Amino acid sequence: MQTNDALFKANDAPQLLVATITTNTTTVGVSQDLSNCDDQVVAIALTVSAYSGAGSLKLLLQESDDNSTFTAISNNNLRLKDVVTGVYLEPADKSDAAKLSANGVSKLGFLKSKKYFKASVVSTGITGSATVSVIVQYEKAFKI
């Protein structure tokens, strides 16, 4: 197995974030070094469990060349994965991609173009609490 293969690298630190969210916030994102990975799909799974009250949570994906200055990944590079068909679709409203307002899993994918990426969770309208986890996964190619 190639050590620069993203599928192999995913075993280094697949879980990026676990948090219980009770207020409107943006979690401190956890970055991951993709410099030794071949260009492949990076898929980020957002799982919401123990949800109560109202509000919504969505993924914020950013990238960087220096692991310091992060910018949002271009909407044109984001794809939402249909959990039923397993096919990546271009979201109609990319700003709401991978948004959840109840228990469930949403997967957002992108093609890496920089050395590092960071995933955070943005919560809005929270009146109760939600436990979230963010896990990085890698796939060989988009299905379109």
pTM over 0.85: no
Q: What are phi and psi of 57, to 5 degrees?
A: -130, 140
Q: Supply the pLDDT for residue 13.
A: 44
* DSSP category for residue 82: P
pLDDT at position 141 is 47
Read off the CATH number of the domain in which 35 is found.
Answer: 2.60.120
Task: Please tell me the total count of domains within the chain.
Answer: 1
All residues at 6 or more sequence positions from 106 whose CB lies less than 8 Å from its CB, including other chains: 45, 46, 59, 80, 83, 98, 99, 100
Q: Going residue by residue through the chain, which has 144 residues, state the pLDDT in tens, using 9 for 90 and above.
A: 444 444 444 444 466 788 888 989 888 887 888 876 665 667 787 788 888 888 888 888 899 999 999 998 887 777 777 777 877 777 655 556 567 767 777 778 787 788 898 888 888 888 888 888 888 876 654 444
User: Is 42 part of any domain?
Assistant: yes
Sign of CA dihedral 91, 96, 102, 104: positive
Domain region containing 94: 6-139
